[in-house]
Chain A
Amino acid sequence: MIDVVLDVISWVLLALGGACVLIGGIGGLRLPNFYTRIHAASLTDTMATLLIFTGMMLQSGFSLPTMKLFAIMLFLLLTGPTATYALANAALLSGMKPDSGVERDRGASGGVQ
């Protein structure tokens, strides 16, 4: 009985995590410019990581792999924002204006639509 409940919970978490990845991808295509697209990526980075790893931890139960999964999740959550910061900061320092509102990046609009 408890197995079924755990299975169902982990399926729901995994499916929600997959949905977050999908929505992040859609956002990456729909949002107009670099700085707004980062927000879509952070949906994939953060929420999808949390949901998918929690789902996988429920699947593996109380065991060493669960600890490893937890450690991987923790390290992803610690290093992810640092990488995002490096990316965003590099864009800022190279002179890309963040206050360009909802305009598209020059030269970036062709591929999407």
Chain B
Amino acid sequence: MSQHGEAQLPAVLLLLLVLAVSWVLWSGLYKPLLLGLGVFSCLLSVYMALRMGFFRNQAMMSLLPRLPGYWWWLLREIARSSVEVARIILKPSMPISPTLVELASQADSEAGQVILGNSITLSPGTVTLDLHEGKLLVHCLTRDTARELQAGEVSRRAAALERN
């Protein structure tokens, strides 16, 4: 926690500006009370981001431009696995075969690993149970989804996000 002093001032001010602009645009009301609340919540958010070490981690910023493409791919994955899970739930025989998979993350940064873990949880049929030192423990609804996960496409794409 001693690195607080090293936080870059420009980055802090940029975040403050972005927050303030989005508050003003999205509220659309310019009463003193609401503006005061806006100032309060912007400052609080920046303080919390500071405490969480947001500014020490520059990797976050550099992967932002590549996110939309990743999201698009993830969206199609989610749609596909949703249909799969819905079909399993509605089938009278309910053919589930719960499987645990241990997955080594190919992403090195914390941000990349969190994106990988959350992407896995986001797609129905797979849930990240534990993420520790680059190793993910994933619970899968069926053996097929487990096999697909081990083929490693999610992991590869999440790792590709942080390549420079």
Which A residues fall within an 8 A CB radius of B? Answer: 20, 23, 26-27, 30-32, 35-36, 38-40, 42-43, 46-47, 50, 64, 67-68, 71, 77-78, 80-82, 84-85, 88-89, 92, 98-99, 101-102
Contacts and interface: CB of A to CB of B under 8 A. Distances in A.
A36 B98 CA distance: 7
Contacts, number: 97
Given A23-B90, A81-B118, A67 B26 contact: yes
Contact of A46 (B124, B137, B139): B124
A30 B89 contact: yes
A113 to B, nearest CB: 14
Contacts of B100: 98-99
Contacts of A47: 78-79, 82, 124
A81 B122 contact: yes
A111 to B, nearest CB: 18
B125 interface: yes
Contacts of A82: 118
Contacts of A43: 82, 85-86, 89, 124
Contacts of B75: 50
Interface residues of B, number: 32
A67 B123 CA distance: 24
Interface string B94-128: 10111010000000000000000111011111111
Given A35-B127, A50-B78, A102-B98, A84 B86 contact: no
Given A31-B96, A43-B124, A88 B82 contact: no
A50 B119 CA distance: 14
5 contacts: A36-B98, A38-B139, A39-B126, A85-B127, A102-B96
A88 B26 contact: no
A89 B129 contact: yes
B122 to A, nearest CB: 5
Contact of A23 (B86, B122, B141): B86
Contacts of A88: 127-129, 139
Nearest to B92: A30
Contacts of B89: 23, 26-27, 30-31, 40, 43
Contacts of B97: 102
Interface in B126-147: 126-131, 137, 139, 141
B28 interface: yes
B131 to A, nearest CB: 8
B28 to A, nearest CB: 7
